[in-house]
């Protein structure tokens, strides 16, 4: 039997793609990967935590917003590199589509800023976006438009 690999493995993380009225919730990241860039609230998945639980927990920690997780949208790679370009860490970010239920974003935890961004102006917003953010936001918005509306509670 071969010896177990000691090489680092990719780190599973989740991102919350929260869509509300043709707007997407974004945060400006304080930590690598992509420190200073705008992306979705999210972070590492804890042992024993589901994708949905991790997405909602990270969303609340970073923005104070509450949402209902609906489904996985896609997965993307995020590479954290040192100044020389060598790979420090590799994250696999699993995007979870979420329907906003309450709260307005307030940056907390490892988010420097948090705000709703108009989907139709995302590419021209002037925000320095992380790789794949605009594409994932469009995929999430397309899926959201296919979801049944939530019926009012009696």
Domain that holds residue 103: 11-132
- Residues 77-90: pLDDT tens digits? 999 888 899 999 99
Given this model, what pLDDT does residue 60 score?
Answer: 97
Determine, yes or no, domain membership for 138.
no
- Residues 117-149: pLDDT tens digits? 999 989 888 999 999 999 999 999 999 999 887
Determine, yes or no, domain membership for 4.
no
Determine, yes or no, domain membership for 63.
yes
The answer, yes or no, to whether residue 10 has pLDDT greater than 70, is: yes
pLDDT band for position 58 (cuts 50, 70, 90): very high
CATH number at residue 61: 3.90.79.10
Determine, yes or no, domain membership for 89.
yes
Cα 65 to Cα 89: distance, rounded to the nearest angstrom: 28
Determine, yes or no, domain membership for 102.
yes
The answer, yes or no, to whether residue 154 has pLDDT greater than 50, is: no
Cα 110 to Cα 113: distance, rounded to the nearest angstrom: 9
| Residue 27 burial (CB count, 10 A) | 27
| Residue 127 burial (CB count, 10 A) | 19
The residues, ordered by sequence, that sit 6+ positions from 109 with a Cβ below 8 Å of its Cβ are: 61, 62
- Residues 19-31: pLDDT tens digits? 999 999 999 999 8
Determine, yes or no, domain membership for 122.
yes
The structural domain count of the chain equals 1
Given this model, what pLDDT does residue 72 score?
Answer: 98
């Amino acid at each position: 039997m071969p010896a177990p690999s000691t090489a680092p493995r990719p780190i599973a993380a989740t991102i919350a793609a929260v869509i509300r009225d043709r707007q997407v919730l974004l945060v400006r990241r304080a930590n690598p990967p992509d420190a200073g860039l705008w992306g979705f609230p999210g972070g590492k998945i804890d042992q024993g935590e589901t994708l949905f639980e991790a997405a909602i927990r990270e969303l609340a920690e970073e923005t104070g917003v509450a949402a209902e997780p609906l489904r996985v949208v896609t997965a993307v790679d995020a590479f954290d590199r040192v100044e020389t370009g060598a790979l420090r860490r590799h994250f696999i970010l699993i995007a979870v589509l979420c329907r906003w239920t309450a709260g307005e974003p307030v940056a907390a935890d490892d988010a420097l800023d948090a705000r709703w961004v108009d989907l139709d102006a995302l590419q021209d917003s002037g925000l320095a976006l992380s790789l794949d953010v605009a594409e994932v936001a469009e995929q999430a918005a397309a899926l959201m438009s296919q979801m049944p509306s939530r019926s009012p509670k009696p």
